[in-house]
Chains A and B, each alone.
Chain A
Amino acid sequence: MGSFVLVVRLVLADVRRHRAQAAMLLLAVTVATATMALGLSLRGVSEALYEQTRAATAGPDVVALSGDTGPAVTSALASLADDPEVIAHHGPYRIVYADLTTHGSGRSPAVASGVVVHGFAETPGTVNRPLVTSGGWVRPGGAVVERGFAEALGIGVGDRVTIAGRSYLVVGIAVTAATSIYPWAAQIGPYGGPSDSSGLVWLTRSDARTLAGRDLPVTTAMDLKLRDPAAAEAFVEAFSDAHRDPAARVNLHTWQFMATQDTVILRNSQPILVVGSWLLGFLAVTGVAALAAGRAVEQTRRAGLLKAVGATPGLIATVLVTEYLALALVGDAVGLAIARLTVPGIASPTASRIGDAAGPGGATVAAATVLAVTVAVLSTLRPALRAMRTATVTALAAAAHQPRHRPLLTALSALLPTPLLLGLRLTARRPGRAVLQACSTATTVIATVALLTVYSQKERGYGLNGSSVLPNLRGELDRRLMLAVTILLIALAVVNTVTLTWTTAMEARANMAVARTLGATPGQIAAGLSAAQVLPALLGAMAGVPLGIGVCGLFSARNTIMPPVSWMLAAALVTLLVTAAFTALPARLAARRPVARALSAEAA
């Protein structure tokens, strides 16, 4: 009981004393776990939304589509409807390919798009009953627009649209599981050819027939309900084997196929988020480890002090680890909560589906927690072990560890201007820290290269005849996510740079004070401290460009357009300049500390 209170008290006291550090650990872990949880939550989310839409709209198990016409098609569809495996069907119904134009209003301009028009009965049947989300169902002269399409067009109930030159009143908005999400509503193209991007509109059967009468391409479709929905694939195979009539080609799409089609929209989101979370996790470890290392001397003294009054090594380790672990777990919980709140927004960029995206599941929670614990353990392992192992008397007298002497480097740096000389010596004093800075910079450059890559893709929007008035949801989502991840990465990298510079400055303050007594100006000291970070950052930036190209190559499609090399080099240069700028403030602050105070602080 007593020691439990003690551990809690010591942890709380330390957090209170080092609020900035606690906040930084919390921030780093939160950002990393939220991103990871978000990325992992996207797994299976499209399928889940499809599943829910399918349940709410009596979605068909198989959709049969034929671009051909004539008695052969009619008989093929009739034999499908009569198949003993089929327990219900809807159709055959017409799908007419046409152009749709909105009239535009104050807030949304007139736009044109390809459209497929489904001719439906005014009272829906048992299979494929689109769910009306606002307004009502089709009536003569009244069109129902698929929700994803309506959102992209910026129209609602009461607006008018022109389809193939005829004006219709929008009487309702609905969703269905019988087609892919907007803009892939046309499952097959005109005459059975390839399909182009288009939205979906329902009209009454007679309105659709009238429309088809104007020489527009038509596909005949039929929705089937099977006795065993799970066996849809087998049913399709058996039918295709039995009906090989070249005059009546029938495409059968299973519900599983349509569900898989839906996942295309999130195909890039997952790698962006998951790879992003690795990089964020890595930066979190780097930053927190730098902070922990900067406090190693203090922690060792603290451990010695506790040992002197009778704390066992076990208790000391408990205090050290509990603090970081507790903060990391709080960060983990916050990160998971953020992921839970943002999943719906990211998981469903399309309005073509209904339902809720489930939050992080058990496996995701476990993975994020493992990440958080890893950050805590990796960043405290060394200081904790050192504090435990150091003999009590030594620990009480603890001073910064004596760095190795590097005669060659010292000789070399003697030929350089003072700031560079100081910078090189500082870097040599703490090679581990230089590596951390280099890695941190490399990570930033990798993310920036990835961002440039995402932004240099030719983003084809959707509209008629190559116009791009309608948004490309998938491309937009990719860009937004990549931008968000990159901003987070850069933010953590900036925090790391400031931390590393400050830690270096605090550790080197006695040496810097001696240098000042020997005549170095505060400006030279500050430049030296900056140089100590910028030199390794230079190496990191140079390594970051090829690494970034490699990472992008790993995750992108073959036809990906890489940004020009000059852009990437510019990004590396900017990263370097920004790093230099961010080292300037802590370096100047540290350099301005009075010499006498620094010298006496070291002696105490």
Chain B
Amino acid sequence: MNGSDAVPNPVAGPVAGPVAEIRGLVKEHGQGQGRVRAVDDVDLEVPRGQTLAVMGPSGCGKSTLLHLLGGLERPTRGEVWLAGRRVDTLSERALARLRRRSVGFVFQAFHLMEELTAAENVELPVLLAGRSPREARRRASLLLERVGLAARARHLPSRLSGGQRQRVAIARALANEPPIVLADEPTGNLDTAATLDVLRIFEDLRTAGQTLVIVTHDERVAATADRLVSMRDGMFVDDTRLTGSSSRGLGGLIEWES
């Protein structure tokens, strides 16, 4: 809408301040009698390198918050900033371009392209970003290696287990090295072993300084974060720093399992 396609991509240069920021954010669904205020006047800053967990009862607005943050939905009121750039005013096209490079999504339902192989799924955002097919192949094999699926690169999603699919989805989210990764209940459909695989990857990402926002119902997942925000009825009711939690959380968990 403001023709900001021409603005240099935020990934290109180092950005001071928070990677993501929201101010006075309100999102209402529906109209008239059936109107629901899913997010109710929320402020939030996510500093670079932080792993933020968002918890709360079903229907409290966690997914909506994540969608707003990643530009999948537009707020009713308020501002959303991503990597130093205001995104709530962007056109649909500009938002799509922004998502390519600045946001990686991980969904509970994986949302892989069923007709593409694991590697092709990971290459998807790279090609969308206009990079060469060779570069896309290089990155896909690197990332699949990183999530431990190098051997499954040519498999279709239907031939992968739930945990493997989610790891492909994470590799896809990382394909363009986005400044922020948004995960909506990434372990919601997984059993304990697969959950542990995913948690290990998140732990690696945290160590590597990746900014990460994870919406979850799972205490074990939340325990690996640097910070925990609790939501209720579209509002934040608690914001806690979990110092040194990750080693304790994941380490403890693994011991516990084995």
A residues within 8 Å of B by Cβ?
Answer: 1-3, 5-6, 9-10, 13-14, 16-17, 302, 305-315, 391-393, 396, 604
* Residues of A close to B15: CB separation below 8 A: none
Is A2 a contact of B96 with CB atoms below 8 Å?
A: no
Given A309-B105, A310-B100, A313-B96, residue A1 in contact with residue B130 (CB < 8 A): yes
Bound complex: CA of A556 vs CA of B244, how far in Å?
90
Is A5 a contact of B127 with CB atoms below 8 Å?
A: yes
| Smallest beta-carbon distance A598→chain B, Å | 18
Bound complex: CA of A442 vs CA of B101, how far in Å?
53
| Smallest beta-carbon distance A529→chain B, Å | 26
Is B67 a contact of A2 with CB atoms below 8 Å?
A: no
Bound complex: CA of A313 vs CA of B116, how far in Å?
20
Is A309 a contact of B116 with CB atoms below 8 Å?
A: no
Is A393 a contact of B97 with CB atoms below 8 Å?
A: no
* Residues of A close to B136: CB separation below 8 A: 2, 5
Is A305 a contact of B111 with CB atoms below 8 Å?
A: yes
Given A13-B115, A17-B114, A392-B72, residue A309 in contact with residue B120 (CB < 8 A): no
Apart from A2-B128, A10-B113, A311-B96, what 20 extra A-B contacts exist at CB < 8 Å? Answer: A1-B133, A2-B129, A3-B130, A13-B113, A13-B115, A13-B120, A17-B115, A302-B113, A306-B113, A308-B72, A308-B99, A309-B99, A309-B105, A310-B125, A310-B129, A312-B97, A314-B93, A315-B128, A392-B73, A393-B72
Is A396 a contact of B111 with CB atoms below 8 Å?
A: yes
* Residues of B close to A13: CB separation below 8 A: 113, 115-116, 120
Beta-carbon nearest neighbor of A9 in chain B: B120
Bound complex: CA of A17 vs CA of B113, how far in Å?
11
Is A393 a contact of B96 with CB atoms below 8 Å?
A: no
Is A312 a contact of B96 with CB atoms below 8 Å?
A: yes
Given A17-B115, A308-B111, A309-B100, residue A393 in contact with residue B127 (CB < 8 A): no
Is A5 a contact of B133 with CB atoms below 8 Å?
A: yes
| Smallest beta-carbon distance A22→chain B, Å | 12
* Residues of B close to A309: CB separation below 8 A: 99-100, 105, 124-125, 128, 172
Q: Is B236's CB within 8 Å of the partner chain A?
A: no
Q: Is B92's CB within 8 Å of the partner chain A?
A: yes
B residues within 8 Å of A by Cβ?
Answer: 67, 72-73, 92-93, 96-101, 105, 107, 109, 111-116, 120, 124-133, 136, 172
In the complex, 14 of the A-B residue pairs with CB atoms within 8 angstroms, ordered by the A residue number, are A2-B132, A5-B127, A9-B127, A305-B111, A305-B112, A305-B113, A310-B96, A310-B98, A310-B128, A311-B96, A313-B96, A393-B73, A396-B109, A604-B109
Bound complex: CA of A315 vs CA of B128, how far in Å?
9
Beta-carbon nearest neighbor of B98 in chain A: A310
Bound complex: CA of A308 vs CA of B72, how far in Å?
7
Is A3 a contact of B111 with CB atoms below 8 Å?
A: no
Contact of B115 among A3, A6, A16 (CB under 8 A): A16
| Smallest beta-carbon distance A131→chain B, Å | 60
Contact of B73 among A2, A5, A391 (CB under 8 A): A391
Is A3 a contact of B128 with CB atoms below 8 Å?
A: yes
Beta-carbon nearest neighbor of B133 in chain A: A5
Bound complex: CA of A13 vs CA of B124, how far in Å?
13
Bound complex: CA of A393 vs CA of B66, how far in Å?
11
Bound complex: CA of A99 vs CA of B182, how far in Å?
95
* Residues of A close to B72: CB separation below 8 A: 307-308, 392-393
Is A2 a contact of B131 with CB atoms below 8 Å?
A: yes
Is A308 a contact of B73 with CB atoms below 8 Å?
A: no
* Residues of A close to B130: CB separation below 8 A: 1-3
Bound complex: CA of A309 vs CA of B70, how far in Å?
10
4 cross-chain pairs, A with B, having the tightest CB-CB distances, nearest first: A310-B100, A13-B115, A2-B127, A310-B99
Bound complex: CA of A310 vs CA of B9, how far in Å?
14
| Smallest beta-carbon distance A263→chain B, Å | 52
* Residues of A close to B101: CB separation below 8 A: 310
Bound complex: CA of A14 vs CA of B109, how far in Å?
21
* Residues of A close to B93: CB separation below 8 A: 312-314
Residue in A1, A307, A312, A315 whose Cβ sees the most chain B Cβ within 10 Å: A312
* Residues of A close to B105: CB separation below 8 A: 308-309
* Residues of A close to B129: CB separation below 8 A: 2, 310
Bound complex: CA of A391 vs CA of B73, how far in Å?
8
Beta-carbon nearest neighbor of A5 in chain B: B133
| Smallest beta-carbon distance A23→chain B, Å | 16
Is B114 a contact of A310 with CB atoms below 8 Å?
A: no
Is A6 a contact of B128 with CB atoms below 8 Å?
A: yes
Is B97 a contact of A310 with CB atoms below 8 Å?
A: yes
Bound complex: CA of A7 vs CA of B115, how far in Å?
13
Is B128 a contact of A396 with CB atoms below 8 Å?
A: no
* Residues of A close to B73: CB separation below 8 A: 391-393
Beta-carbon nearest neighbor of A310 in chain B: B100
Beta-carbon nearest neighbor of A298 in chain B: B114
* Residues of A close to B114: CB separation below 8 A: 17
* Residues of B close to A315: CB separation below 8 A: 128
| Smallest beta-carbon distance A384→chain B, Å | 16
Bound complex: CA of A5 vs CA of B132, how far in Å?
9
Is B96 a contact of A307 with CB atoms below 8 Å?
A: yes
Bound complex: CA of A3 vs CA of B116, how far in Å?
15
* Residues of B close to A314: CB separation below 8 A: 93
Is A6 a contact of B127 with CB atoms below 8 Å?
A: yes
* Residues of A close to B124: CB separation below 8 A: 6, 306, 309
| Smallest beta-carbon distance A236→chain B, Å | 70
Bound complex: CA of A17 vs CA of B157, how far in Å?
13
Bound complex: CA of A307 vs CA of B94, how far in Å?
11
| Smallest beta-carbon distance A20→chain B, Å | 14
Bound complex: CA of A555 vs CA of B99, how far in Å?
59
* Residues of B close to A306: CB separation below 8 A: 113, 124
Residue in B97, B99, B127, B172 whose Cβ sees the most chain A Cβ within 10 Å: B127
* Residues of B close to A6: CB separation below 8 A: 124, 127-128
| Smallest beta-carbon distance A324→chain B, Å | 16
Bound complex: CA of A314 vs CA of B5, how far in Å?
15
* Residues of B close to A312: CB separation below 8 A: 92-93, 96-97
* Residues of A close to B133: CB separation below 8 A: 1-2, 5
* Residues of A close to B127: CB separation below 8 A: 2-3, 5-6, 9
Bound complex: CA of A417 vs CA of B183, how far in Å?
51
| Smallest beta-carbon distance B128→chain A, Å | 5
| Smallest beta-carbon distance A308→chain B, Å | 5
Beta-carbon nearest neighbor of A16 in chain B: B115
Beta-carbon nearest neighbor of B63 in chain A: A393
Residue in B96, B98, B99, B125 whose Cβ sees the most chain A Cβ within 10 Å: B96
Is B126 a contact of A2 with CB atoms below 8 Å?
A: yes
Beta-carbon nearest neighbor of B124 in chain A: A309
Is B128 a contact of A311 with CB atoms below 8 Å?
A: yes
Beta-carbon nearest neighbor of A15 in chain B: B115
Bound complex: CA of A396 vs CA of B112, how far in Å?
11
Bound complex: CA of A307 vs CA of B71, how far in Å?
11
